[in-house]
A and B are shown apart, each in its own frame.
Chain A
Amino acid sequence: MSHDTYKDLMMGYLDGELTELEAQRVEQHLEGCAECREELESFRKLKEMTQPMRLAMPDDAYWERYWSSVYNRLERRAGWILLSIGLIAVTSYYVYQLAARLVLNPGVATPVRFGVAALIIGLCTLFVSVLRERIVLLRSDKYKRIRR
């Protein structure tokens, strides 16, 4: 077993997390290694120093409200999705009506008709592109690249 492995095992020894056999091996190593003995002692003091300390936690009332807060966020998100779908549908309908009137109306100047047609085709292309990207993202796990 390498010296570095013993350094890692020393943590388990300090925290009482090793099996009896592992603990015996560490003790044997410590007998012959002054560096590790010294290091173990300084880690023991560090542990003793932080033993009476705990992470400051929000009060109990907050933990009681925690789930309801998550639930509200879940509901709110569903509300936003529905609102967005509604807005897109209504806006699309009126944009289509307006565009059809302009593009199909021979009374409107040709450059304006071409401009409006290009605008609509551009918007549709962008929408399809974004939609395709979102679908690809939804199919893949975007969290898999995160290292632990």
Chain B
Amino acid sequence: MRPTDEASIIERCQKGDKEAFALIVKKYMKPAYYVALSYVGREDDALDLSQDAFVNAFRHLKRFDSTRSFFPWFYSILKNLCMNHLVRVRRHKEDSLDQMEEECGQVPIAIAAADPEAAMVSQDLREKVGAALARLKAKDREILILQHLQDLSYREIADLLGIPIGTVMSRLYAARHALRRELERMGVSN
């Protein structure tokens, strides 16, 4: 879907066209899931929250500038829902959003083998990487999930998150640094 196509589809959605919105949902459902998972850790919660975010987005779409990219705007809605979910679940209402973002990864991220050949990688190592990811800040976990575990290009990540490519690189540097430190703490040396 080219940006101009997306803009015209968004305009149809703004007029209440649900079939057009289905195209947007199908395009972004997986990235939405990855982002939600990077915040909440649990697969079922990530699916649930990503769907709720699409519902909220559709309701507020009239205020969205259709000449801009959809996902960065949608990302704000999704992130807001994820933070509210974490506040509800953990009942740490006195925590600030910054603290929540730093501490939210408590559930190990489920990691699978990329292909049958890669299944040779030990389950133990996959679990350790999943647990190490869960201990990172949500911001670090998010960029690692998109780049390492979903193999998106920098351009794709920049477009999804609405950040410059330079920021993708600096966030990736900080995130890889943090992941390496966590793995070392767990006895995994690379």
Instruction: Check A38 for interface membership: any CB of B closer than 8 A.
Output: no
The contact size tier of chain B is 35 or more
Query: Which of A53-61, A92-100, A126-134 is the contact stretch?
Result: A53-61
| Closest partner residue, chain A, to B121 (CB atom) | A52
Contact A58 B111 (CB under 8 A): no
Quick check: B47 and A58 within 8 Å, CB to CB? yes
Q: Are B59 and A77 in contact (CB under 8 A)?
A: yes
B12 at the interface (CB under 8 A from A): no
Chain B residues near A53 (CB-CB < 8 A):
111-114, 118, 121, 126, 129, 148-149
Q: Which of B29, B63, B125 contacts A66 (CB 8 A)?
A: B29
In the complex, what residue of chain A is closest to B62 when comparing beta carbons? A138
Q: Report B-chain residues with C-beta under 8 Å of the C-beta of A70.
A: 25, 51, 54-55
Q: Which of B65-102 contact A (CB under 8 A)?
A: 72-73, 75-77, 79-80
Residue of A nearest to B51 (CB): A70
**A71 interface neighbour in B18, B76, B149, Cβ under 8 Å:** B18
Q: Which residue of A lies closest to B125 (CB)?
A: A49
Q: Inter-chain contact count A-B, CB under 8 Å?
A: 129
Determine the main DSSP class of B at the interface with A.
helix
**Contact between chains at B145 and A55 (CB < 8 Å):** yes
Name the CB-closest residue of A to B112.
A56
Q: Of B150, B173, B180, which is within 8 A of A8 by CB?
A: B173
Report B171-190 CB contacts with A as 1/0, cut-off 8 Å.
01100100110010000001
A69 to chain B, nearest CB (A): 6
Q: Is the CB of A54 within 8 A of B113?
A: yes
Contact A12–B121 (Cβ < 8 Å): no
Give complex CA distance A56, B107 in Å: 14
B residues whose Cβ falls under 8 Å from a Cβ of A:
18, 22, 25-26, 29-30, 33-34, 37, 43, 47, 51-52, 54-55, 58-60, 63, 72-73, 75-77, 79-80, 109-115, 117-118, 120-121, 125-126, 129, 145, 147-150, 153-154, 161-163, 165-166, 169-170, 172-173, 176, 179-180, 183, 190
